[in-house]
A and B are shown apart, each in its own frame.
Chain A
């Protein structure tokens, strides 16, 4: 145990602030990283609107999102391994709706829940095979897992092959 604590303590984490968007004092919320840590998604609060922004973590360069500049406020962004998919909660009238933007194809995938359930928080598996949703129903919070494999191509680390399918 002593050696473990030593190894943790001996290596000091390296810190930096998230890249600024050049907007003065920014309020930034709910960070999410791509699986490889290259991209950072977060919520920017400006002029009373809470909007997702996607940046390269090291340079701060902003990346375009085709479908996610409206239906605010946004909540709970989550990224896949290479950042191909960005899942978040958007506002659709009176209801919250989970959506996934596929940055490779430009498609937007809405993920409606049955009536009576309201999504509160999301977590997208890095390979985009599953989505976890915290939903509230009757005042209680529950976490539900959904299978995305029939709908989304996997987003895997480079060099990792898709398992299953095809003949040996």
Chain B
């Protein structure tokens, strides 16, 4: 009986020592592992096509992981745009981009315009990539789809 107690004590000490070492070593790591495992995101980003679906864009909008960039003309942006979206028509890229470039790093960027055949969002995406931003996705016919689902919008010249 005494032997079993002694062995159990040794096992407990070994387990405690291992847990302690693991936690200390993890704290000292430059990229410590969080205590709770994060499941892979359900959002599917296809880097090859560079396009994003409305469902995924909405999920990123709600979780505030994405910044929406409106490629349409200023006139249409002022009338109504996706809530929080910045206005960057490709023709005014050189003027508008420096104003907001600080806010675009480490975020997923979603460009949109109006209509299936609208090329402005594609042009804007290429210009952003030209500035070294990799996380750029196009929501094809974004404005039409967004409005169709009654998702949050706002009007005026500010996001």
Q: Do A and B associate with each other? A: no
Interfacial residues, chain A to chain B (CB-CB below 8 A): none
Interfacial residues, chain B to chain A (CB-CB below 8 A): none
